[in-house]
Structure 1
Amino acid sequence: MLETLTLFLNEMEYADYQVIEQVTAMSRWGEPRQNTAVWPGYNSAIIVQEVDPVKAKGLIGEINKMNAAAFNNSELVAAYMWGIEEYTVVKPVE
């Protein structure tokens, strides 16, 4: 699923995102992933920064479509969107 999401982000030209490949997690809809003998494995996380609200809502819509087509709970993607009130403007050093 991580590859599917990063491919989509690149195709839709989302320029600012970070991937965290190994995240331990607990959720209500799947088995825990704690990288232990009892709960093996990891989840992944992608953090996307998008200022265009239409584009951000489009991403949420695509994730909802992926979830609707999931075969089981391990294929579900959790997505959250929130507004940022203040931030720094990053300008490239010349």
Structure 2
Amino acid sequence: MYARERGFGRQVKEVRRDFRDSLFSIFMDNLSLKVDVSGLWGIFKVFGKVRDVFLSSGSNSRKSVFAFIQFATSEEAQKVAKLTNGMHVYS
């Protein structure tokens, strides 16, 4: 997505916006090191249309990972969070 930004002297420049700026995220913590992006995508697409998944590297001292699963609307993210709260993934 591109947006036009007008500066001083009536200059116009193209500014590229990241599509993820308009997404709504749910946060998952304490996930197994065995979890991968495609696995999370597959699990959460059942509950709503997944737009993006971010998965941490798992290199922290707790030996677990966290993830952000992103959806297009706030309502969809809230619905998914409610339906999956307390769900065990790869435990």
For Structure 1 versus Structure 2, the TM-score category normalised by the shorter chain is: 0.3 to 0.5
**TM-score where L is the length of structure 2:** 0.41
> Which protein is bigger by CA-based radius of gyration?
2
**TM-score where L is the length of structure 1:** 0.40
